[in-house]
A and B are shown apart, each in its own frame.
Chain A
Amino acid sequence: MKPFVPEIGRSVPRADAATKVTGSEKFAVDHYGENLLWAGVRRAGVPHGIIRNIDISAACDLPGVIKILTGRDVPGTNRQGIVHKDQPVICDKKVRHCGDAVALVLAQDLETLKEALNLIQVEIDPLPGVFGIDDALKPVDCLIHEEHPGGNVLLQATIEAGGGQAALAECDIILEETFEVPMQAHAFLETENGVAWQEADGKIVLIVSTQAPFRDKWEISHALGLPMDRIRVIGPYLGGGFGGKDGATVQCLLTLAALHAGGRRVKMWWDREENFLAGYKRHAARLHYRLGAKADGSLHALHCRVYYDTGAYAHLGGEVMALGMEHAGGPYRIPHTLIEGWCLYTNNPVAGAMRGFGVIQVSFAFERMIDLLAAKLSIDPLALRMQNALRQGDRNCAGVTLTHSTGIRDCLEKIRSHPLWTDREAWKASAGPFSKRGVGLAAVFNAMGYGRGLPDSAIAKVEITTEGRILVYCGVSDMGQGNATAFFQIAGQILCQESSLIDLVQPDTERTLPSGSASASRTTYTYGNALVRVCEELRRRIVGRAALLLLVDTLDDLELLPGRVRHPATGREIPLKMLAATLTDPERICIYQYLMPVVKDPPDTGKAFRIGFPHLLFSYGAHLACIEVDELTGAVAVKDYLTVTDAGRVINPQSCEQQIQGAVAQGIGYALCEELRLQAGCILTPDFSTYIIPCASDIPDMTALTVDTYEDSGPFGMKGVGEVATNGPLPAIANALADACGIHAIRSPLTAERVLTIMQGGRP
C-alpha cells in the first residue's frame, strides 16, 4: 500500500490489518520459546466446598513434571480482584465455584501436563450451594465469603431522584413487569493465555493477552508479594477481549509458575472448555420494573429493583450493577425515580466486565416497558420515545444534569425518516406463508469512562527518533476495537507525516506509560486526548527547531509537511530527518497525562458506590430490527437491522462501522441464542456446539448511520463507540416479536423453543 497521511475523519485502513491478513502479527498465544515448559491448573469441579486434601504424590512421580503447587505454596496474600481482593490465585481452604484453581502444575510438555493434572487427587467436602438470585436472597445459612459483612450480598445500593417512588401515586398509568436475562460468554477467539519467564536479575516478564497490563502488575504484586519493579507485562494485540480479559486470568498463575521454572519460559493456554469454566461472564440479572406515566405519555416515575448474579467473586460486580442502575431509566426524562440494586454472590461462574457492562440487562427492561406503555396508551412507539428523549440540560434518571452532547433525539429523528421505518407496514404485510414479520425499536445509551471516584487517566508518550520516525507509545491495549488505528490517525493528523513513518508501540509496562484499561468506551477518548497534547507539543518542538535553523521569526511562518518543514515565503525546506538529528534526547520525547472530566455536582444519592458513579459523558443509539418469525418452529430470523449512533464526531468511519456492526452481532447472539446454561453451578454449555454464537448466516447486512454531534471535550470531537450498540438488539428484537406475534417476552434469549412456547400460550 502506498504511504499516505492518516488523517482524522477518513476510513484509514487499520494500522494492524496488513500483519493480521498475512498471519505475521504475533498475538500473545503465538509466543513459544526454546526449552518451553507448560503450566496448567487443576480446577475444583465442585461449586462449593471445603478442601480436605489434595494429594499430588502420584502426579509428582510422573516423569517430566517439574513442580506442583497448591494454595499453601502461594506467597503474598494469595488474593486477587480489581476492587475487592476476594479471589484466591490457588484456593487454600475452600472452593466457591467449579472453575476455582486448586493446584498448579508445571511440566515439560503439554501431554505430561494433562496427565499430571488428571493424577492429582482432590478431596473436597461439599457445602450447600447458592445457585442463583433466589438462593442468594434467602436468609443466610450458607455463606460464600464468611468474612464479607454483607453476607451473600456483595453490594446493596440505591439511587433516588426527584420525589422517588412516591410520585407513582401521581401517575395516570402504572405498568409493572419482571424481566430475566442469563449469563453470557464473551467467546473471544483467542482464549486466555500468556508466556512468562524469570530473568537473571530476578525480574518476571509476561507476554499476556490482557486488557489492563498496568493493573496486572499491581494484581501480581499484591497476590504474590512481589515488588512492582520486578514485574514487566507486555500486552500485544488481543484476539478479542470484550471485557473478559479485564482482570486477572492467567497472570498470577503464570508468574507463580515462572518463579519455579529456573529461568525457562512457561506457557499457559486455557482451552475452550477451561475458558468457559474459569473465564469471566456477563452477569445474569432479574429486573423488576414499575413505570408510571401521565395520560399524555410523559414519563413521570420509575421504581426498579435490580438483582445481578456476580458469581463466586466480586470482580467488578458492584460497578457493573452501579452502571446498570445509572442507566435503568433509559435515555429518557423521568423526574422521579427510585432504583434499588442487589449484587449477589453465588456459587456460579464469576461474572465480570463485558461490553455493555450492566447496561445491556436494563436496556431489555426499560425498552420493553416503553413499548408496553406505547401500546397501552395507543401512542406510536417512536413518538413516545421522541417525546421523552433526553436533551442536553435535562436530568437523567440518576438525577445528573446532562451538560455534554446528548444526541438521542437526533438518532430517533433519523430512524423516523428511514425507509425501513416509513415502509414497514408494506414489508410486514408481504410475509410468506407460516411466517410473521415485525419491526421493533430500541433507544439506548452507554456511559463513557470510569465515573467519579476512580480517576480515568492516560499518559501518552510520543517520540521522534534521530532518523525522523514517529513512535507512539500506546499504554492502553487494542483488543480489536481499533483504538491503535485512531492513535495512528491522531499522530498523522497533527504531525502531518505519512503512515510509513509512524510506528505504534503496543503496551509494555517498561516502554509505555500507565493509561488504564481497554474498557468503558474510554480508550480512544482518554488516551487520544493525552495524545493530542503530546503531538501538538512535539510539532512545536520540530517547527521551533526549524525556525532556528532557517532564521525565521515566528513559528506561524512555517509549515510541517510530510518529511520536511517548509518556509512558504521563501520556499526553503529542511528535511525532517535533519531536524530530528539536531534535537537532543529530552526534546525528542513528549509526555502528558490526561484526566477525563467528571460530574461537578454529583447528586446526593448512590452513596453505596465506592467508585464508578455517576458519569458525565454518554453515547446514544437508536435501533430498528426487522424480524421474521416462523410460526411452525418459533424461530426468529433478523432480516434487516438499522442503527443510528451518536458517538460524537467520527474519527474513522470504517472503524466506527466495525464497532457498531460487531456490537449488534453480539447483541443479536444475546437476543436469540446465547445462554450460559447452569445446573447447580455446573456449566452445561462448555463449547461452541452447545453455546451457540452467531455465524455468518445468522446476521443480516446492517445499516449503521451516525448523527453529526460534536463532543467538545473529546479528541477531535469524538465519544466512545465500543459498547453502546450492543445494548440495542435484545430490546429491539423483543419489541419486533411483540409487533409480529403480539407476544410479550420477559426472558431471554428468544430461542425458537421459548418463542413457540409463548405463542402456544405457555409461560413467557
Chain B
Amino acid sequence: MIIAFTLNGEKRIIDVETDRRVVDILREDFGLTGTKESCGTGECGSCTILVDGRNRLSCLMLAIQLQDREVTTIEGMAPGGRLHPLQKAFIEHGAVQCGFCTPGMIMSSAALLKKNTAPTREEIREGLSGNLCRCTGYQKIVDAVDAAAREMEGDPRP
C-alpha cells in the first residue's frame, strides 16, 4: 500500500506492506535506529515517537496509520545539529546512563511539555510514567525535564 507522510520535516511516499509496524519501517527502512524497541507490547515506552505532535508508541502502530501524519523521531529533534533544550538538559543533568530509554523519554517529555509548559516534578513523573528506565532511578530525568521546561518557556518547537 502506498502512503504519504512527513518524517522529520521531509515528505515521504512509500510502498509498505499493511502488516508492518511503524517501529520496523523507521529502524529497518529509514535507518532511524534512534527509536528503540524493548518490549514490543506497549509497556515500556522505548519506541515513543511524536505523531502530529502527540506521543505514540511506534511498536503498537501500523505503518499505514501514518497516512497524512507528521512524524517526529529522536533524529528529528536536532535539526541542523542544533540540540533541543531537552537533549541539552538530559546531557547536562546526567539523565543518560545506558541511554536505551533516552530517545523515548525525550519524545514523551517533548509531548508533555507541549501540553503543560510548566509541570511540577509530580506532573513530570506522571507524564513519564509510561516510559521505563532501569538505570537512573528517574531523578535526574525529572531534573532534566524540569530544567528544559524552564529553558523552553515560549519555545514553539515540538
Contact = CB atoms under 8 A, between A and B. Distances in A.
Contact of B100 (A189, A655, A696): A189
B9 interface: no
Interface in B108-140: 121, 124-126, 128-140
A135 B5 CA distance: 59
Given A239-B36, A482-B97, A666-B134, A701 B91 contact: no
A479 interface: yes
Contacts of B140: 657-658, 661
A380 interface: no
A238 interface: yes
A188 B134 contact: yes
Given A272-B40, A689-B41, A696-B131, A23 B137 contact: no
Interface string A188-210: 11110000000000000000000
Residues of A in contact with B, size category: 35 or more
A16 interface: yes
Interface in A5-51: 11, 13-14, 16-18, 20-27, 29-30, 32
B153 interface: no
A385 to B, nearest CB: 24
A15 B108 CA distance: 24
Contacts of B43: 687-689
A588 B131 CA distance: 46
Given A30-B33, A701-B139, A21 B28 contact: no
Nearest to A22: B78
Nearest to A663: B137
Give the most central of B74, B134, B141, B142: most A CB within 10 Å.
B134
A23 B98 contact: no
A109 to B, nearest CB: 10
A189 B129 contact: no
Nearest to A652: B94
B138 A665 contact: yes
B44 A658 contact: no
A699 B138 contact: yes
A23 B34 contact: yes
B90 to A, nearest CB: 5
Contact of A661 (B39, B41, B129, B137): B137
B137 A662 contact: yes
A192 to B, nearest CB: 12
Contacts of A654: 94
B98 A237 contact: yes
B137 A702 contact: yes
B14 interface: no
A605 to B, nearest CB: 37
Contacts of A697: 125-126, 129
Interface string B13-26: 00000000000000
Contacts, number: 168
Contacts of B87: 21-22
Interface string A253-279: 000000000000000000110000000
Give the most central of B33, B35, B131: most A CB within 10 Å.
B33
B36 A21 contact: no
Contacts of A14: 91, 94, 96-97
Contacts of A702: 137, 139
Nearest to B103: A23
B18 to A, nearest CB: 13
Nearest to A23: B34
B134 A22 contact: no
B77 A22 contact: yes
Contacts of A18: 83, 91
A27 B97 contact: no
Contacts of B74: 21-23
Interface of A: 1, 11, 13-14, 16-18, 20-27, 29-30, 32, 186-191, 237-242, 271-272, 479-482, 654-655, 657-658, 661-666, 687-689, 693, 695-697, 699, 701-702
3 smallest CB-CB distances across A and B, nearest first, come from A23-B34, A480-B98, A239-B100
28 contacts: A13-B94, A16-B99, A17-B90, A22-B34, A22-B78, A23-B32, A187-B134, A188-B134, A190-B36, A191-B38, A237-B98, A239-B98, A241-B98, A480-B98, A480-B135, A658-B135, A661-B139, A662-B134, A662-B137, A665-B136, A666-B134, A688-B41, A688-B44, A688-B132, A689-B41, A689-B43, A696-B125, A702-B137
